[in-house]
Structure 1
Amino acid sequence: METTKRLQILNMNWPYFILAFVILNLALFFKFLPGSLAGVLPLLIVYGEAFRFIGDRIPIVKDYLGGGSIVVLFGTSAMVMYGLVPDDFAKTCKTFMTGTFINFALAALCCGSIFGMDRKLLIRAAIRYLPCIIGGFILAILFGGAAGLLFGNIFSETTLFISVPIMGGGTSAGAVPLSQMFGEIMQRDVGELLALMTPAVALGNAFAIIAAGLLDRLGKIHPWMTGNGHIMRDEGKQAESEEAKKEEPVTNLSVFAVGMTFAGIFLALGMLIQRFIPSIHAYAWMILLMIVVKVLGILPANIERYCALWFQFFIKNFTNTLLAGLGFGLISLSAVIPALTPSYVIIVAAVVLGAIVGAAVVGWFVGFYPIEAAITAGLCMANMGGSGDIATLGACKRMELMPFAAVSSRLGGALVLIAGSVILSFVL
């Protein structure tokens, strides 16, 4: 009884958490929950913590599949698929995530990660990263095409309609422009091509998230393969961010406001530049600006520190909330399940495996830890863009890798579009 009394969820004794959970769900189902931030965010917090608590106690899931993070994602998504939450709430979550919260989260994660990183290491890592993306892409094409041949598929069709869409950065930034480009060149219906690509993108995203949890487990079994969130291998176990590592108590809470403000400034500047150069996504511009400012030492050290502290605060308090929002609003199990034929599943798994192996091998040769390289340059190419990056890094508990993940999804995804058109020109 004493142990039960001490059990805490969300830093509160469990009866209070249950009470909060029940009240918020009553408000949801009887339709007096505000549809704004004031109502949605608390509900996402309690669902995120509830599923995290469950997932961290399921033996196989917690040891091999990412634990609570994976259960938060797929548990909330399953609730939507089986109608266990009102449709209006799922739509509200989708609007909330795509319209505001995901931008807010990505800005916080990227800003804190970059400004909390050592300047010299940042320069060296950035220069070595592109070869990892290319290595992952090439092996994803080869592995996927080879698996397709085993089931009697034409190599080029597997590449164009399964492998390339998976590696293309999601639906809106990958499958949609690919289907339009292929449709114009091949003179085929764009909707038909999009219908071919969408299941591959959705299933590839699910596999990338699961694979991230497995890679996290692999790192625990073979510690030499991972830097536990630090990508550069030749620094040993030295932290890439001495500032971000410090766990000094924060006595002045206004430092979080400073970090949040500068994250918003860089996001706004990224969106401004995208208006003039729309071919590159605002997130990519945001990251490039952060890197330039960090490398040139433009911001004072204390502001860089505040950005890193804001990042720490965010991942500690809102990671599961973010994953719950993705599950309710953006991760669609109903798009994955119809594609679960044995041959299709094996081909998609082969593509994701190729991305992992290619990025890990090249990453090792350029001085990265293979697991961190596989996650960022491999899995974050195979998932569904920004939301997929958060889900993937959440599953392997490496949110500090967000800048590299975002580069994969945005700049890497743009390179895949170019590669797709080149591959198609050779096929025709």
Structure 2
Amino acid sequence: MESKFKLLGLEMKYFIPVALIIMGAAFTGALPKGMEGVIPFLLITGVLLNEIGNRTPIIKDYFGGGPIVAIFAAAALVTYNILPETVVSSSATFMKSGGFLNFYIAALITGSILGMDTKLLIKAGLKYLPVIIGGVVVSILMTGAVGALMGYGFVNAVFYIAIPIMGGGMGAGAVPLAQIFGKAMDQDPTQLLSIMVPAVALGNAVAIVCAGILNKLGKKYNKFSGDGKLLKGQDDVGIEEEKELKVDYLSLGKGLLIATTFYVLGKFLGRYIPLHPYALMILSVAFAKLTGILKREHEEAATTWFQFVMKNFTLALLVGIGIAYTDLGAVISAFSLTYLLLVITTIVGAMLGTAIVGRLLGFYMIEGMITAGLCMANMGGTGDIAVLSASNRMELLPFSQISSRIGGAFMLILTSLLINLFV
């Protein structure tokens, strides 16, 4: 059967006319300002920029490829006044007051946690999570110390560089972190995100390079490597693969309701508990998962909805982040040799912390550093694949997913607590 090149699931004979209609409307002022116009514009722009990023040498191998290009190229389109002002304003409204960002994050957090195996969740808490915490603590302290020595500031280095890098990527990390910081510091999240985004991108690149180096070290020093096994004396990773979920229309609607209800619960609890609504939502979802309050079919509905949103709207979200939350001027002014050194320090600290704690808990050092360290410091799912590919350890993907999902959620909760101490 002939394989045809497709974008958004459409062959080029369909995609090109659709793209021309949407872009033509956008640049002539005919694009509707509501979600019926903004969503197709963000989708088309996202898939085109993603394709460029995934085909550009160096960027596709070390800087996250399409997702990074989608953010920064979209920001450049705004900065250099290429996009019409009406498109920029309607996109920004859709992302912010329109609630698209919160809508996406609600689906991501709820579905990813409810989609995990309960036994895996408990195992992660007993052994794997302490290793993650070790990496986070050492990374934060080292980055803060270097920031203080170089005049960048301990708190600035921790909040603007170390925590965003260790926070689980863009959609579930830097973006909600900017919201948390903005609320606590009474600052514009756009400015904060412009400082965090390049840190996350550079952190992803450094993590991939370090993964390749660790793979070579593992071959040279066999006693530190499990050749793909995480724990000493372990025969296999011991984690069941996630099953393919059956999709039906009712389950999508049910998943939408469950995800948004947990988000509303987080907002409601936030009126009485001094934590950010995202953190409270994470705790609520984890509690529901561990106690089995929801029937399995409802958990699967939330996971199905999460997968639907992630596969269809991630690129649209990234373009929206570029347009509404990324100030390219601030990004450029934030970058410096000191900034780069702090990013590298964050990654090195993550590896050292996980190596120390992992060794104490019976982990192979190389595998512990890759999964609990580098997979915390990369850009989520795409970063996990890149890091594990570079280290030639794709069999550790289930553990990297714990880093991205549970580890990222842990960082949001930790940030909500720390922000109250320092601000």
TM-score range, shorter chain: 0.7 to 0.9
Pick from 348, 352, 364: which aligns with 2:346? 352
Q: 1:69 to 1:161 in 2, by over 3 A?
A: closer
1:137 Cα deviation from its structure 2 partner: 4.1
Task: Name the CA distance, whole Å, in 1 between partners of 2:408 and 2:36.
Answer: 30
Equivalence for 2:267: 271
Structure-2 residue corresponding to 1:110: 109
Q: Gapped runs of 5+ residues in structure 1?
A: 181-193, 380-390, 422-428
Partner of 1:284: 279
Q: 1:238 to 1:217 in 2, by over 3 A?
A: farther
Q: Which amino acid aligns with 2:305?
A: W
Deviation at 1:39, TM superposition (A): 0.7
Please, which of 1, 4, 14 is the counterpart of residue 12 of structure 2?
14
Alignment-mate amino acid for residue 348 of structure 1: L
SS at match of 2:294: coil
| Residues 364-408 of structure 1: per-residue CA shift (max 9 Å, x gap) | 4556853443367556xxxxxxxxxxx655555688834531331
What is the percent sequence identity of the aligned residues? 27
CA distance change for structure 1 residues 198 and 304 in 2, over 3 Å: closer, same or farther?
A: closer
Which secondary structure state, in structure 2, belongs to the residue aligned with residue 117 of structure 1? coil
CA 44–201 in structure 1, closer or farther in 2 if over 3 Å, else same: closer
The aligned residue for residue 387 of structure 1 is none
Give the aligned CA root-mean-square deviation in angstroms: 3.8
State the one-letter code of the partner of 2:408. Answer: A
Distance 1:288 1:232 in 2: 28
Contact persistence 1:107–1:264 (CA under 8 A): yes
The superposition leaves residues 150-205 of structure 1 with CA deviations (integer Å, 9 ceiling, x where unpaired) of: xxx45xx6313434443466455337746x8xxxxxxxxxxxxx89x998874443
Matched, 1:417 2:419: yes
Provide structure 2 residue ranges, at least 5 long, that are not aligned to the other structure: 165-176, 219-224, 386-399
Map of 2:169 onto structure 1: none
Counterpart amino acid of residue 298 in structure 2:
I
* Aligned residue in 2 for 1:318: 313
Deviations 1:6-35 (A, max 9, x none): 322111122322222221122112222111
- 2-structure distance, mates of 1:311, 1:176: 26
Aligned residue in 2 for 1:247: 244
Aligned to 1:187: none
Contact kept in structure 2, 1:162 and 1:200, CA below 8 Å: no
User: SS of the counterpart of 1:107?
Assistant: helix
TM superposition shift of 1:263: 0.8
The residue matched to 1:110 in structure 2 has which SS?
Answer: helix
Q: Deviations over 1:62-118 (max 9, x none)?
A: 222222222212221221222211234333323322331111111111111111111
Q: 1:67 to 1:416 in 2, by over 3 A?
A: same
Q: TM-score if structure 1 supplies the norm length?
A: 0.75
Which residue number corresponds to residue 129 of structure 1?
129
Aligned partner letter, 2:258? F
Is the contact made by 2:206 and 2:344 (CA closer than 8 Å) also made in structure 1? no
Distance (whole Å) between structure 2 residues aligned to residue 48 and residue 232 of structure 1:
40
Hey, what's the Cα distance between the residues in 1 that align with 2:401 and 2:23?
A: 29
Give, in angstroms, the shift of residue 119 of structure 1: 0.9
* Conserved? CA contact 1:163–1:351, under 8 Å: no
Structure 1 residues 299-344: Cα deviation after superposition (integer angstroms, max 9, x where no partner):
11111122222222222222212212111211222111123343x3
Say if 1:81 and 1:314 are closer, same or farther in 2 by CA, change over 3 A: same
In the superposition, the TM-score normalised over structure 2's length comes to 0.75
Tell whether the 8 Å contact from 1:114 to 1:291 is kept in structure 2 after alignment: yes
Shift of 1:274: 0.9
Q: Could you say if the C-alpha distance between residues 254 and 97 of structure 1 is closer, same or farther in structure 2, counting changes exceeding 3 Å?
A: same
Q: Does residue 404 in structure 1 map to residue 401 in structure 2? A: no
Task: Give the equivalent residue in structure 2 for 1:329.
Answer: 324
Contact in 1 for aligned 2:347/2:374 (Cα 8 Å): no
Figure out how many residues of one structure are paired with residues of the other and give that number. 378
Q: Secondary structure at the match of 2:81?
A: coil
Q: 8 Å contact 1:55–1:72 — kept in the other structure? A: yes
Q: Deviations over 1:204-247 (max 9, x none)?
A: 4312233225535765884999999xx9997944546x5xx222
CA contact (8 A) 1:259 1:308 kept: yes
Q: Which amino acid letter does the alignment assign opposite residue 343 of structure 2? A: A
- Residue 305 (1) aligns with residue 300 (2): yes
Q: CA deviation at 1:45?
A: 0.7
Tell me, in whole angstroms, the C-alpha distance in 1 between the residues paired with 2:42 and 2:329: 21
